[in-house]
Structure 1
C-alpha cells in the first residue's frame, strides 16, 4: 500500500509540473468576436499556461495582452500584433465602428501598448501593426524549443 501511495503522489506531482510548464502558441489568428476571446483568454489565464506569440495575432486576438499576465507572454521574431477599432455589422450589412466596444478593448491593453496605439492615432478602422523592435521592447523574446499547442 505504501508503494501505491508513493506512486500516486509521484504521478500527481509530475502532472502538476507538466501543467505548470504548458505553453500555448498563437500563430496565425485574425481574431473574431471580442466576447469569445475574452472567455478563451480568461480560461488561459486561469490555467497558468504561458503564451508564445509566433505569427499574426490580430483584432480580438490581441486581448491576450490584457488577459494573460505580462510575464507569461513571450514573442518570437515572427510575431505581429494587429490593432483596429471594434465594429458591428450595420443594418445595411456594412461594418460600423462601435465606440463603446473600442474603448473597452483599448482599456484591456497594458499601458505601454495603449501609449503605442495613441502615438499612431488610436484605434481606427485602419489596422496598425506592432512588431519587430518595438514589440521586442515590450515583451520578452521566446524561443520555440518548448513544445507548444496551437491556440485556434
Structure 2
C-alpha cells in the first residue's frame, strides 16, 4: 500500500509540473541571426516558460527582452547582456552595420533598456554590457533549480 501511495504522489507531483513550471536557461549565448532568435523566443513565449539569464546573452540573444514578458524573465548575479548594432557582411566579407536591422532590433527592447542604451550612445559597432546592479534594477533576481535547461 505504501508503494502505491508513493507512486500516486509522484504521479500527482509530476502532473502538477506543467509548462508554467518549466524554465529555459540562457548561459553563454553570443547571438546569431535575428530571425532565428525571433522564432525561438516566440516558441518560448507560447509555452509560458520562465527564462533564466545566467551568463552572457549578447547580440541577437537580447531579443529575449522584447519577446518574453518581463515577469517571465529573471537574472542571476552572473547575467550580462551585450548590445551592439546589427551587421551584415559586404561582398569582401567585412562586417558592415545594417541600419534597418539595427532599428528593428532596437525597437524590440523595452523602454528601460532603450533608455540605458541611449545613455551609452545607442547601438554602435562597439559592444556595451548591461549587468550587475543596473540589470538587477530592471529584472527580478532568480535562483537556479534542477529543472533548468541550457538554451543555445
Task: Tell me if TM exceeds 0.5.
Answer: yes
Q: Any unmatched runs of 5+ in structure 2?
A: 1-10
8 A contact 1:34–1:60 mirrored in 2: yes
Q: 1-side partners of 2:111 and 2:133: how far apart?
A: 18
> What is the Cα-based RMSD across aligned positions, in Å?
1.7
Give the 5 Å matches for 1:1-152.
15=15, 17-152=17-152
In 2: Cα distance, 1:15 partner to 1:83 partner: 39
1:73-120 CA-partner distances (Å, limit 9, x unpaired): 000000000000000010111001000000010000000000000000
Give the C-alpha shift of residue 16 in structure 1.
6.1
- Stretches of structure 1 that go unaligned for 5 or more consecutive residues are 1-10
Name the count of aligned residue pairs. 143
Map Cα deviations across residues 45-76 of structure 1 (whole Å, 9 max, x no partner): 00000000000000000000000000000000
